[in-house]
Structure 1
């Protein structure tokens, strides 16, 4: 009786650390959830979820879930909370995956790193499919680990279904299939019957993905061709710019852990350079760990093979939100490296932990205090407040879809148009005449422009056609560029 009671007590005690990490993650992920406005891609997600959803879409799973979620509310905080749910699930899954391949300590540290990652919090607070794609990626990898340890039909079915759902959520995540196949085939290279069963379940997963894949291939051939052509032209003009430099590749370690914001001083820049070197050391140290090294190589395969595939396709795809799904595997390797340092030199490990905490805290403070997203809410509020009957709105930003997506914030009666009349520095005067004539009659015209199209450029471009009554500037401190502005102009015809 006493032995049973002791076991039950120990069972509950082992869940306390991950529970505390999940509570911390919950606080961080929900904090300031609705403070910033939706940016353009989030508005697109809401707009897409309102239309008919089916499996014959490029990313159907997220939109099906979002459409259901919208039945219970449409506030910014509520819509973003769907991604928070999958972000928290990712924290739990990285713990489970980390402890299976590198031990309990590494699993807990990896979960803590993901809970504290400002960039992961950023995407977990976004009405987009990135946190769901990461969650499903971790679920599929955990399923494959089960299948590698015990190749039953149930574990393979779990893997196939999870990977199919992942592919229908974030198509680039399908690059995980290559390391999946390589790992499994190498593990069971001498067991033909196991490989055949795995192949059958892989085929099931492919069939489930096929409707979405067909739409993906049909709609993205042009995009991929353009991306490859641009890459080829860049290679021709200057091979240095064909792909991101090795420095940019290594810098992803800082992005995944501390946030990709510009340094504010030379001292801060030097600190983050040293910080990145420390992370690179931990990553290498984790990989050369002898204990369970085979399983850590699985993490390396899931982290580096998909990243390399995306890297080789196009530099236009080598951006944080598309690479987010490999972040957990990198964090597991960092956690394994830290655990090895901890076992060898506690003082060095403590120093590394302090440096990491400082870098991450700096990133969190920056994330929660700086406006990072386009302020479409602010633009709509201004128009809602002072619009008059007969007003028209022209968006020279975003795609045609934005004309309906803006209605998430805008509830007035003005007609909304999408026209490229202030997206470039030199506007063709003839085209401008045609575009403006198509808008007639005009009482007042609201014009939304972006970046460097300031009032002086407005006067230079539209001075003889439009009279500027008033303008507003909306600051947006993006991750990679300072002062990425949006301008709102209230005009009348000259």
Structure 2
């Protein structure tokens, strides 16, 4: 039998009601699964997803060399993705499936947490809000680690609550393991840990989470310390790759922070955040879990940029938990139902838009279809810069048929200008796949060599990816 929630239950709620409530978290999980699978194949995979799929398919030796230079922070995710990437299914299903499953598990966990902290209605409302939140659904349909990170953040929070209630050695070890797993999936998700520790150390926050008052602060700190030790190898690798990994991040201003609610819930932001505000009054600790990681990310970014909405996605299930607790505090039960319906109506346009074929930053599927339709025997392909092969080649057939001029067979790096000049002899057509060349890549020696030999045709764009056919000027 699950223990009674700490917050007051409706009068007359008895054992039978609590036992029946055990199964209600399945409802948000089912809604999340339906949301995740809805239109899963609609949008093309984009460049980040292409990297995920291709790296997950690499032989282990090649994977080890790749991670030594780049993306070591995603090593665990790539390993977890390998069996899915090998499935003989459309790539949109195969490599996005782990994210859909993680999204479903996170909705289940949010509902279970809400039920434990504030009763079955709170859990039901929280899980449904999370299942309908646009940003959560968006990354449930992406072959990156963010949905998994959110699920593990919910798990770690569940274990923290359990540790606060019954601080046994097994729970302490499980909590430490969940924190380590969280860091191995995404280092920035460790911003949740200060919020957890604040809860453990401050009795005023802990008081609303458990009827007991166990001395858990030291145990939780020891668990976090052990998790930190397990993360040392990753931290050392990540420190050496930071400039290549997140060079594109910029210092956020107040405008970016003010845009965060809209990024999370679109037109439903007012509804979600208003409910969360009422939940913060009822259970302040949950407010700390939902708000502090975002605030820390923003504050740290004033010195060293680390903020992006997807990098704090793990706080969104806790925000939904807070909103569900808020709705459960409304005396009239028709109000939460009306709010849920209103939220679903408000977010529907955003939910539908993210499933359109061109809804991702790049349309790699159409790019591959264009190549497949227009390539001829003897055509070559050149990626400028070299890493763009990983960015686009998830739809492999046309690229497998084209001879790649970017890198000589067996060579670790790109061809030199002289090597490319020799490889171009007798070649009439070369497909160039690149970002906008601009001034950044105009001085690439391979690009300059190509300009001396061939003439560019029309450039077509597929999101940020550019495709140009270069041919001889006969």
TM-score range, shorter chain: 0.7 to 0.9
Number of matched pairs: 422
**Partners of 2:108 and 2:286 in 1: CA distance:** 17
| Aligned match of 1:333 | 322
Q: Gaps (5+ residues) in structure 1?
A: 1-6, 232-241, 259-271, 290-295, 419-432, 475-483
**Partners of 1:343 and 1:416 in 2: CA distance:** 68
Q: Which has the higher helix share?
A: 1
| Aligned match of 1:239 | none
Deviation at 1:252, TM superposition (A): 2.0
Q: Alignment RMSD, CA only? A: 3.6
CA contact (8 A) 2:278 2:326 kept: yes
Q: Deviations over 1:453-475 (max 9, x none)?
A: 8xxx9xxx99996434565443x
Q: Gaps (5+ residues) in structure 2?
A: 1-13, 208-212, 408-416, 443-447
From 22, 26, 44, the equivalent of 1:19 is 26
**Partners of 2:241 and 2:75 in 1: CA distance:** 14
Deviation at 1:359, TM superposition (A): 1.2
Structure 2 SS opposite 1:58: helix
Moved more, 33-42 or 85-94: 33-42
The 5 Å alignment of 1:400-411 reads: 402=390, 405-406=393-394, 408-409=396-397, 410-411=399-400
Deviation at 1:203, TM superposition (A): 2.9
CA contact (8 A) 2:183 2:231 kept: yes
| Aligned match of 2:155 | 139
**Partners of 2:118 and 2:253 in 1: CA distance:** 31
The 5 Å alignment of 1:253-292 reads: 253-258=261-266, 272=267, 276-289=269-282
In structure 2, do the counterparts of structure 1 residues 278 and 193 end up closer, same or farther at CA, with 3 Å as the change threshold?
Answer: closer
Q: Does 1:321 align with 2:314?
A: no
**Partners of 1:335 and 1:364 in 2: CA distance:** 20
In structure 2, do the counterparts of structure 1 residues 277 and 213 end up closer, same or farther at CA, with 3 Å as the change threshold?
Answer: same
| Aligned match of 2:173 | 157
Q: Does 1:91 align with 2:84?
A: no
CA contact (8 A) 1:393 1:446 kept: yes
The 5 Å alignment of 1:432-443 reads: 437=421, 440-441=424-425, 442-443=427-428
The 5 Å alignment of 1:354-365 reads: 354-365=341-352
CA contact (8 A) 1:250 1:276 kept: no
Q: What's the TM-score, normalizing by structure 1?
A: 0.74
Deviation at 1:353, TM superposition (A): 3.9
Q: Deviations over 1:71-108 (max 9, x none)?
A: 44363112211221111111111111222223221211
Deviation at 1:34, TM superposition (A): 2.5
Deviation at 1:369, TM superposition (A): 3.2
Q: What's the TM-score, normalizing by structure 2?
A: 0.77
**Partners of 2:392 and 2:27 in 1: CA distance:** 42
CA contact (8 A) 1:392 1:446 kept: yes
User: Highest relative contact order (Cα 8 Å, sep 6+), 1 or 2?
Assistant: 2
CA contact (8 A) 2:298 2:307 kept: yes
